[in-house]
Copies of this chain bind each other. A is one copy, B any other.
Amino acid sequence: MNDYSIFCVSDHTGVTVESVAKSVLAQFPHLKFSLITLPFVDNAEKALAIAARIATTPRALTFSTLTDPALRMPFHQAGLSLFDVFDLIAPRVELALGQTAIPSGGHTHGMAHDYEARMDAVNFSLNLDDGLNPERLDQADLILVGVSRVGKTPTALYLALQFGLRVANYPLTPDDLGQNDLPSCLKPHLARLRGLTLSPERLAAIRMARYPDSRYASLEQCRMELRAAEVFFKHYALPVIDTTRMSVEEIAARLRPS
């Protein structure tokens, strides 16, 4: 028995604190735990109630991003193990900058300010999903190309949601792959094309889950399509990402222009 309850407490969405807690706890691979995220703890009443709840939970650890030091008080007073991102980092940043932090309430962390650019990017990426509206490819920041089910759509949407990039995606169909050149609508945009590829085994497994026993999902077909796509990628020296063992965050981080 080594089951911990890990609380992620935030005065805002909890995205930051949850990602910190997961990163840190990954260094304790033998730890068994359940993760409870409590967002929008943004007033004294909520903070008190949650500190009390955690205090009665055995084997609890608390990670937090509570901007206002007053909201951290009930946790400290209850004697909890509290790891607050601001507590631990802000004083050092103050020293380095020679400026005093102004705890400003949760709503400034997060990315609300560029909401509209990101929503526009999502709409763009949906409108140019899967080869739709190729006449608008010139407006894209990036154009993902690859065979069916290689991960183009989720990657495009993640880049749009997370970074506000306008990302089109264009499928290389068996018809396209049978030609001796890239589809002509892509050729004016070579500099913004990015190839996605995958191991044939992985691709077959993904396709199989949707269309079992189809020719489309056969290892042979997957291998043939991927090989043909790679000929195009090589010929035009496109940057290529092999997504076989990658999460969508990893793929996106590699594609994001620096």
Q: Is A214 an interface residue (CB 8 A)?
A: no
Taking residues whose C-beta sits less than 8 angstroms from the other chain, chain A's interface range is 35 or more
A57 interfacial contact with B, CB 8 Å: no
Inter-chain contact B157/A110, CB cutoff 8 Å: no
Of A90-98, A138-146, A171-179, the segment with at least 4 beta carbons within 8 Å of chain B is: A90-98
Stretch at the interface among A18-26, A44-52, A182-190: A18-26
User: Which residue of chain B is the closest to A125 with respect to CB atoms?
Assistant: B157
Q: Which of A130-160 contact B (CB under 8 A)?
A: 151, 153-154, 157-158
Q: What are 11 A-B interface contacts by the 8 Å CB criterion?
A: A12-B250, A23-B65, A26-B109, A27-B102, A28-B99, A38-B258, A83-B89, A83-B93, A126-B129, A154-B161, A158-B161
Using a CB–CB cutoff of 8 Å, the interface residues on chain A facing chain B are 4, 12-16, 19-20, 22-31, 36-40, 61, 65, 67, 81, 83, 85-86, 88-90, 92-93, 96-97, 99, 101-104, 108-112, 115, 118-119, 122-123, 126, 129, 151, 153-154, 157-158, 161-162, 245-250, 252-254, 256, 258
